[in-house]
Amino acid sequence: MSWGQPTQQPYGGYGQGAYGTNRGYGGPPAQAYGQQYGGGAQQQYGYGPPPQQNPYGAQGYGGRPPVPAYSAPPAGPPPGINPELWSWFQSVDQDRSGRISADELQRALVNSNWSQFNSETCRLMIGMFDKDRSGTIDIHEFAALWKYIQEWKSCFDRFDTDRSGNIDAGELNNAFNAFGYRLSPQFCQLVVRVFDKRSTTTIQFDDFIQACVMLKSLTDKFRAHDVQQQGVIHISYEQFLEMVLDNTLS
């Protein structure tokens, strides 16, 4: 896979810039990253060869009856879907249901060290693009998710300055600052400890996505109460619990 690199953009305010309203689900900066799948005016692909022609001609006296004409099953991608992405979708769709579950997605995505994505990140991403709330995504939703992952990979590579394939607390602090969050280095160390599943004091690509989306979600809930935009709110204990639980269950 080839991942593009984003251009530098200014970020302002807490939770703005990379997490503006154009990315309601908590995506990285809205820029053109890498190859775009499933969008724009692309070549239209058919669904297989035309019906078979009757090799026996018109039916005549004593002649052989015509062979019914049937279309072959779909062989190519739906219109507007990149053939390479369609092929990958089919390989991920192991039960041939035409839809992909979080479990199937987890088996298909790997980090730089070939470890599978964690189940929570996969569940989170499926939920973002599952428009009918079926718990699965079709090829068009998968195309949007694939673009989303490409954008995050470009963002991750940008802040993985030592090219280790992981993000440490210092690199995470740089990322949060670029996103417009004013957070301390101590908080970034806490985030790494929470999401570090291998005890290496770093987080992998899938953990990076989960941590950033979690921060975006909680920030949105905080800002709903911060009417003065001062970074300080006054809420009850129960309101605080509702914020945390809503983020956990969403």
Helix or strand holding residue 137 (H, E): strand 136-137
Contacts of 105 (CB under 8 A, 6+ apart): 92, 117, 122, 125, 126
C-alpha angle 98-104-107 in degrees, rounded to nearest 5 = 145
Domain of 117 in residue numbering reads as 80-249
- Answer whether residue 31 is part of any domain: no
Backbone angles phi, psi at 116, to 5 degrees: -70, 150
The contacts of residue 209 (CB under 8 Å, 6+ apart) are 121, 124, 125, 152, 156
Pairing of strands 202-203, 100-101: unpaired
Q: What is the pLDDT of residue 4?
A: 32
> What's 215's domain CATH number?
1.10.238.10
Between vectors from CA 117 to CA 115 and to CA 118, what angle results, nearest 5°?
A: 115
In a domain, 120, yes or no: yes
pLDDT at 197: 86
**In total, how many domains does the chain have?**
1
pLDDT at 227: 87
Does the residue 168 lie in any domain? yes
pLDDT at 250: 59
Q: What is the pLDDT along the chain (250 residues), one digit of tens a residue?
A: 333 333 333 223 444 433 333 334 456 644 322 222 233 333 222 223 333 333 333 333 333 334 444 444 456 788 889 999 999 999 999 999 999 999 999 988 988 888 889 999 999 899 889 988 899 999 999 999 999 999 999 999 999 999 999 999 999 999 999 998 989 999 999 999 999 988 999 999 999 999 998 888 888 889 889 988 888 899 999 988 988 887 765 5
On whether residue 26 sits in a domain, the answer given is: no
Task: Note every long-range contact of 131-140, with CB atoms under 8 Å and residues 24 or more positions apart, other chains counting.
Answer: 134/99, 135/101, 135/102, 136/97, 136/99, 136/100, 136/101, 137/99, 137/100, 138/98, 138/99, 139/77, 139/78, 139/81, 139/86, 139/89, 139/98, 140/38, 140/78, 140/81
Structure confidence at residue 177 (pLDDT): 93
Q: Would 158 be classed as within a structural domain?
A: yes
Q: Is residue 64 part of a domain?
A: no
Does 49 reside within a domain? no
